[in-house]
Structure 1
Amino acid sequence: MNMMEFSYRNVFRNIKAYAAYFISSTISASLMFSFSMIILHPDFNTDMFPDALKNALYVSIFIAYFFLCFFVFYSESVFLKSRYKDFGVLYIIGASRKQIKKMITIENLIITSSAGVFGVIIGLVFSKILIAACGRILGVTSLNFYLPVKSVLITITAFIVIGFVVSLSASMIITEDKVLKLLKGTRKPKAEPKFSKLLTLVSLITLITGYFLSATTTQKNFASRVIIVTSMVVVATYFIFSQVSIRIIHLLKSRKKIYMNRTKMLCISDMLYRVKDNARMFFLITITSAVALTSIGGIYAYWNSKEAEINSSFPQSFFIYDYYNHKDDVERKISFIKSSLYDKKVDSNNVCGTIKYVSVKDIDDTVLVSRSTYDALKKSNSMNKYKFNEYKKKVLPAIFDDVKVVDEDVFNSTAGKKIYFTAVNVSDYKTTLDISREYLDKFNSLKRDKYSNDFLKSYI
């Protein structure tokens, strides 16, 4: 029997011992696969994202992979401790360090590569639900199911790399000159966990300082503080579990009335050892949960405020305007939009009219709109599914910030720069993203001109 066959049989004969390590690795692989599958989705277009947001997406992939490596490595270290006796026996019967190292490497590669494959399978099973949910959150219907070949390759490759790294570190720990220690395994009595008063004090001060800096962070000093605050909180959190928790239990032991009360002695003593053993896991769970919840909360708040801002700033689903002598261009564009909406069986209404830029009391570019046009726009906007209080005041896009509603005769008699517009409304603007993209492909008209522009709400 060669080492490859021996390692293979060793894994499957001790499946119960390997189960926790395999499951934790599989869950990690499925999370990584799901995350990369969304980021690498062909319809997830990041070209129009700011550079800071693009960088944040890629940094988040790195952070996720880093914590997954940490989690898998910890799972492996716990698993190895349960096998100390096996390694000791192998050394006694003549196995060399090179053979043990090779065995650990093969076993780890079997587990991590299998975990990568099963993680991908689990991710694929739930991928349709995940993509639909992400599309729902983003408010678009363009995230269709696809075969994520890149994500599969990235996930499996990443976990094979993890297998090699974990094997390398494990083989450095398991050495033949510690045979007696290995044979005793977990039967060796543990020393009572100690704590450092200095580390306890420093961790509390660091944590309080980190949260204080976080609470007082402004937009100006955010860039300079984000790394410092994050590092302080992460380090302090680890020492909170590894030092402060032990200190608290020591204080409980010093209270004789509490400690000596019936079975509390056993509970508190057992808790002391468990806290020390699980400090790293508590730390990982806390930090990972904090990152996840903060990210979810931050993104939700950001997206909610942005969507409200978009609904407030752009009342219509489509708003096309140009100089009055370019009226034909506006009507040609609107004809395409209406035809596309008709083909997709989307109900719509439209209002066309004229606005004027005039100078009033030395204020340049005040926008005049007639009462009849204002009423028609207000009625048209009532079709919108997404309603906000600002609709009661705003019937034109936010670029027309100083709008005066006047009677028809005043509007006609006032000299000013005439702008022709057409506004189109549908019930749910989010269903028109494909039409907006087709429109841009056809007209390539993101002019960004004060007097001539196309506002496509779903694309914005």
Structure 2
Amino acid sequence: MTFTEFSINNIRRNTNSYLGYFFSMLISSSLLFSFNMFVNHPDLDISLFDDYIILTMKVTTIIIYLFLFLFVFYSASVFLKSRNKEFGILYTIGISKRQVKKMIFIENLVMNILASVLGILVGLVFAKIVLIVISSLIGIKPLEFYIPIKSIGIIILYFTLISILTSYFIYYVVREDKVIKLLKGTQMPKPEPKSSPILAILCVILLVVAYCRAVTVTELELVNRILPVTSMVIVGTYLLFSQFSVFVMKKVKDNKVLYKKNINMLCIANLHYKIKDNTRILFLVTITSAVAFTAIGSVYSYWKDQINQVELAYPQSIFYATEREKSNGTDTGIYKGRVELLESLLEKENIPYDKVEGEIKVVFSKNRNEPIKIIKESDYIQLAKGKELEIIDLKNNEAISLSKSNSKKNYNIINIDNRGIKVKHESKSVMPAYYSVYVVKDDFYNSINSDYIENKFVAIDTKDYMKTLDISKNFEKVCKNDVGYKFLSKSIIVDYGKVAYSVLLFLAIFIGLIFFVTSSSFLYNKLYTDCQEDKKKYRNLNKIGLTYKEIKKISTIEISTLFLLPYIVAVIHSTFALLALKNALDVDVASSSFLVMGSFFIVSFLYFLIVRQGYLNEIKGELID
């Protein structure tokens, strides 16, 4: 028997231990292949997507490639550590360091290439369905099936490189100068888990502060708070598993009445060690799950609520305005011609419409770095018709703010033309979100003495704004070279948003699936490693009277803690993240987050039941009754 045959036989002997790792690799390679097949499809028109969508696709690809490498490396290292005794014996009988390195390389290479090839085959089998689903999701013409030679080459090359790199790094886990330690395998006694009360308290402080900062965030503060809040949550989560949970378990053990009741001693003692031993895995699974929940939940919320968001941000079907920076910056004759063109296009298509024309004064002040935009009360009343707005009665020293309540341009008192003006706030705007405008009395508007520029605007409303899509696109082409104008079409914004948010949703779901599959594999691999020790432990306990029913109860508590605790913590993290999104950007996230987290919970729970049953079958086979 050659050494290569010996290495391949080793894989056959360790089939059960490799099973979870292999299937997660197979699913991951299949998902990655499907993603590459879509991105590299010859009929996919990338010009449909904006630059930031293309950039997001590239970043997503890089994240997935890096994450899969870390997943393979970590999973393989955990698995090889469980075979310490096997490697110790091999070193004892004279196998060389080079041969062990070669064996690890062959095993990894065979497993990775086999998983990638089968993953590609699975991807090809479901390719047509996948392409139809993705095309339908992002709202484009269904893509035809094709043989993606480039994608096949990328996947095989990637997983081959992974096997080479991981084999090189993982080899140092089983170096021959640790033979005695290797021979003892995983049976070496473990010290009692210890925790620091200070770090446990710090964990609580970090998470509470992060949650409070998240739910009180405004639109202005959102970007500045993301990094510090995320950092606090990450550090707090690690301390939660490494310090706080161990601290709590120690306190529970100190309660002798509870600790010595029935099988609590075994449950609590086992959990005390298992949570500490699995700190890294629990941490990784929690963070990856939280990222998946938050990404999918937030994008799905936007995707689902897109029409409502556009309705709020862009009240009119079409809005066209001059944007002069200087008094002589624009030829108003062009403006008049463009308005006439819009009207003629609408009339040609027999689309009835309501039109409001008005002016916007851009007033400059020495006391402010940026000018103030104001419109007449009479224009505001015309714009408000049909918008279900209660007309606010204004006085000469008052103004209505049409900007968002959490905008940096929202003042209680503003200074216009050296006069202090009290500001009232209107949550429903009659101007596009692009404009931060104040409504003032007509007399006040006409009496401005400060430096100002007066721009013109036309707001057009139709019963069904999507019927104006072709008109808006044609008008946009005509005006593409115009300088000093702003054209906003609700139909174009909705049409573009459908594609943009659909692509982002696809990317979020895809990366969420990758994270879920790899996280589940982390847990399976670790559970299988522990199972080899647990068999001996429960066999000995069974000999002295512990029944299978009691073992089943203990095991269920332990496995559910490993599988469901990260999910619960991730749900809490994601809930606060989505609440921050709701408060800052006024997006309805409740139904979307419930659907996303509920779906993941159902799959996680089913996976837990399957793994639990397999684990119990392994344990039961070792018992004497």
CA 1:116–1:239 in 2, change beyond 3 Å: closer, same or farther?
Answer: farther
State yes or no: 1:310 paired with 2:310. Answer: yes
| Corresponding residue for residue 144 of structure 1 | 143
| Corresponding residue for residue 104 of structure 1 | 104
CA 1:36–1:244 in 2, change beyond 3 Å: closer, same or farther?
Answer: farther
CA 1:71–1:329 in 2, change beyond 3 Å: closer, same or farther?
Answer: same
| Corresponding residue for residue 26 of structure 2 | 26
- The 8 Å contact of residues 358 and 457 in structure 2, kept in 1 or not, is answered as yes
Q: 1: CA distance between counterparts of 2:230 and 2:489?
A: 42
Q: How does 1:86-235 map to 2 (within 5 A)?
A: 86-138=86-138, 140-142=139-141, 144-145=143-144, 147=146, 151-235=151-235
- The 8 Å contact of residues 354 and 419 in structure 1, kept in 2 or not, is answered as yes
Q: 2: CA distance between counterparts of 1:89 and 1:195?
A: 36
Q: 2: CA distance between counterparts of 1:112 and 1:129?
A: 26
C-alpha deviation, 1:152, in angstroms: 4.2
- The 8 Å contact of residues 320 and 423 in structure 1, kept in 2 or not, is answered as no
- The 8 Å contact of residues 476 and 487 in structure 2, kept in 1 or not, is answered as no
| Corresponding residue for residue 266 of structure 1 | 266
Aligned to 2:205, the other structure's residue is in SS state helix
Q: Which moved more, 1:258-267 or 1:228-237?
A: 228-237
C-alpha deviation, 1:18, in angstroms: 1.6
| Aligned amino acid, residue 48 of structure 1 | D
CA 1:326–1:265 in 2, change beyond 3 Å: closer, same or farther?
Answer: closer
CA 1:421–1:72 in 2, change beyond 3 Å: closer, same or farther?
Answer: same
Q: Which moved more, 1:123-132 or 1:235-244?
A: 123-132
| Corresponding residue for residue 292 of structure 1 | 292
Q: Which moved more, 1:161-170 or 1:117-126?
A: 117-126
CA 1:35–1:282 in 2, change beyond 3 Å: closer, same or farther?
Answer: farther
Per-residue CA deviations over 1:243-291 (Å, capped at 9, x if unaligned) read 2222222222111111111222122222223223332222222111100
| Aligned amino acid, residue 162 of structure 2 | I
CA 1:254–1:299 in 2, change beyond 3 Å: closer, same or farther?
Answer: same
Aligned to 2:185, the other structure's residue is in SS state helix
C-alpha deviation, 1:162, in angstroms: 2.7
Of all paired residues, the percent bearing the same amino acid is 37
- The 8 Å contact of residues 445 and 454 in structure 1, kept in 2 or not, is answered as no
Q: Tell me the TM-score normalised to structure 2 length.
A: 0.53
- The 8 Å contact of residues 84 and 182 in structure 2, kept in 1 or not, is answered as yes
Count of residues paired in the alignment: 411
Q: 2: CA distance between counterparts of 1:240 and 1:398?
A: 42
| Corresponding residue for residue 590 of structure 2 | none
CA 1:311–1:449 in 2, change beyond 3 Å: closer, same or farther?
Answer: farther
| Corresponding residue for residue 407 of structure 1 | none
Aligned to 2:186, the other structure's residue is in SS state helix
- The 8 Å contact of residues 105 and 164 in structure 2, kept in 1 or not, is answered as yes
| Aligned amino acid, residue 351 of structure 2 | N
Q: 2: CA distance between counterparts of 1:162 and 1:14?
A: 21
Per-residue CA deviations over 1:141-191 (Å, capped at 9, x if unaligned) read 336255455554444433333322321222111011222322232333433
> C-alpha root-mean-square deviation of aligned residues, in Å?
4.8
| Corresponding residue for residue 279 of structure 1 | 279
CA 1:366–1:454 in 2, change beyond 3 Å: closer, same or farther?
Answer: farther
Q: 2: CA distance between counterparts of 1:156 and 1:313?
A: 47
- The 8 Å contact of residues 437 and 459 in structure 1, kept in 2 or not, is answered as no
Aligned to 2:143, the other structure's residue is in SS state coil
Q: How does 1:329-368 map to 2 (within 5 A)?
A: 350-351=351-352
| Corresponding residue for residue 73 of structure 1 | 73
| Corresponding residue for residue 82 of structure 2 | 82
Aligned to 2:262, the other structure's residue is in SS state coil
Q: 1: CA distance between counterparts of 2:238 and 2:174?
A: 26
Aligned to 1:201, the other structure's residue is in SS state helix
Q: 1: CA distance between counterparts of 2:11 and 2:294?
A: 39
For structure 1, list consecutive stretches of 5 or more residues without a partner in the other structure: 339-348, 376-392, 403-416
Q: 2: CA distance between counterparts of 1:226 and 1:398?
A: 24
CA 1:437–1:61 in 2, change beyond 3 Å: closer, same or farther?
Answer: farther
Q: Which moved more, 1:59-68 or 1:37-46?
A: 37-46
| Corresponding residue for residue 4 of structure 1 | 4
Q: 2: CA distance between counterparts of 1:450 and 1:319?
A: 11
Instruction: Indicate which of 50, 64, 69 corresponds to 1:48.
Output: 50
CA 1:358–1:262 in 2, change beyond 3 Å: closer, same or farther?
Answer: closer
Q: Which moved more, 1:217-226 or 1:296-305?
A: 217-226
C-alpha deviation, 1:101, in angstroms: 0.8
Larger RCO (CA within 8 A; separation ≥ 6): 2
C-alpha deviation, 1:116, in angstroms: 2.7
Aligned to 2:194, the other structure's residue is in SS state coil
Q: 2: CA distance between counterparts of 1:218 and 1:283?
A: 29
Q: Which moved more, 1:290-299 or 1:205-214?
A: 205-214
Per-residue CA deviations over 1:54-98 (Å, capped at 9, x if unaligned) read 555544444444443333333212311232222122212221111
For structure 2, list consecutive stretches of 5 or more residues without a partner in the other structure: 322-333, 361-373, 387-427, 439-455, 498-625
C-alpha deviation, 1:108, in angstroms: 1.0
| Aligned amino acid, residue 310 of structure 2 | I
CA 1:418–1:79 in 2, change beyond 3 Å: closer, same or farther?
Answer: closer
Q: 1: CA distance between counterparts of 2:97 and 2:292?
A: 41
| Aligned amino acid, residue 174 of structure 1 | V
CA 1:281–1:178 in 2, change beyond 3 Å: closer, same or farther?
Answer: same
